[in-house]
């Protein structure tokens, strides 16, 4: 079995091993519908022969697919494509975002959830939540004054807002999607033509406006403030990359 797929390029990772490669190939076939739900996968022996690998590799690949929710195994019977591959987790591969449109599309998805989260947070907030937001915001202000882009603190602030909703699905989703998008704002800050530092100051002012609206319990204002914040970042990103199409 030749590993012909591009390497993961993950830090510290030489190249995909046989198990990862087989996992990906089988997953592709399942997702592509070549193996519809309920159908039985080839037996381990058959997969061994087809792909020229040992049973160890086959079993590890099946274990990975099982963990991914794509297959279910029955001892003595076989491995079956899961009845509900709809239950497969929602995934965005940050390294897979190759085009500007893709990044903007993810931003758009994030935007609607963040906006709603801000509104819910305004209704649900406690004093402790607001204190936490303000603490992070102060730390951000200090970091920015020291020339630090404060990406991690930005992420943390959005995470606190998510937690403030009291809805764990909002918070975990925002953490998930924020982890993908927020680090990309470094290119907005590195934009020397328009100056990154004033933009950081704008981000900070926008964060403060969001926090103030949430503290006030004004859901509408919180939503508007969040939408302004994220829409501006998105538009800025769009403008920037339309001048430099290589950056995505």
Partner DNA sequence: TCCCTTGAAGTTGTCGTACAACCCTGGTCG
Partner DNA sequence: CGACCAGGGTTGTACGACAACTTCAAGGGA
- Contact residues for DNA (CB under 7 A)? 1, 3, 14, 17-19, 41, 43-45, 52-57, 59-60, 62, 73-79
Q: Which residues, numbered 77-116, are part of the site for its own copies (CB under 8 A)?
A: 77, 80, 83-84, 86-94, 105-106, 108-109, 111-113, 115-116
Listed in sequence order, the residues at least 6 apart from 242 whose beta carbon sits closer than 8 Å to its beta carbon are 100
103 interface partner picked from its own copies, DNA, none, CB below 5 to 8 A per type: none
Instruction: Find the shortest distance in angstroms from Cβ 73 to DNA.
Output: 3
Q: Does 43 bind its own copies (CB under 8 A)?
A: no
Within 10 angstroms of residue 168's Cβ, the number of other Cβ atoms is 10
Q: Which residues pair with 40 in a beta bridge?
A: 80
Q: Does 72 bind its own copies (CB under 8 A)?
A: yes
Q: How far apart are CA 62 and CA 57, in angstroms?
A: 9
Q: Which is nearer to DNA, 51 or 173 (CB)?
A: 51
Q: Which of 86, 95, 29, 92 is nearest to 61 (CA)?
A: 29
208 interface partner picked from its own copies, DNA, none, CB below 5 to 8 A per type: none
- Determine phi and psi for 79, rounding to 5 degrees: -105, 135
Q: Does 33 bind its own copies (CB under 8 A)?
A: no
| Contact status, residue 90 vs residue 137, Cβ threshold 8 Å | no
Q: Which of 200, 181, 57 is nearest to 108 (CA)?
A: 181
Q: Which is nearer to DNA, 64 or 111 (CB)?
A: 64
């Amino acid at each position: 079995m030749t590993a012909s797929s591009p390497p993961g390029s993950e830090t510290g990772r030489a190249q995909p091993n046989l198990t990862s490669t087989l996992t990906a190939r089988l997953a592709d076939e399942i997702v592509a519908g070549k193996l519809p739900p309920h159908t039985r996968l080839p037996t381990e022996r058959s997969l061994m022969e087809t792909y020229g690998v040992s049973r160890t590799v086959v079993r590890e690949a099946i274990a990975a697919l099982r963990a991914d929710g794509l297959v279910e195994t029955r001892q003595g019977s076989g491995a079956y494509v899961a009845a509900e591959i709809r239950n497969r987790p929602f995934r965005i591969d940050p390294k897979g975002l190759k085009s500007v449109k893709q990044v903007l599309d993810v931003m758009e998805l994030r935007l609607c959830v963040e906006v709603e989260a801000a509104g819910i947070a305004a209704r649900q907030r406690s004093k402790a939540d607001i204190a936490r937001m303000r603490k992070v915001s102060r730390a951000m202000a200090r970091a920015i004054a020291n020339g630090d882009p404060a990406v991690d603190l930005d992420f943390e602030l959005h995470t606190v807002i998510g937690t403030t909703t009291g809805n764990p699905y909002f918070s975990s989703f925002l953490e998930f999607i924020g982890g993908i998008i927020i680090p990309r704002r470094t290119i907005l800050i590195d934009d020397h033509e328009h100056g990154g530092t004033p933009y950081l100051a704008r981000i900070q002012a926008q964060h403060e406006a969001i926090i103030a609206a949430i503290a006030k319990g004004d859901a509408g204002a919180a939503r508007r403030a969040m939408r302004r914040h994220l829409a501006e970042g998105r538009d800025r990103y769009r403008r920037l990359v339309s001048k430099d199409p290589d950056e995505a």
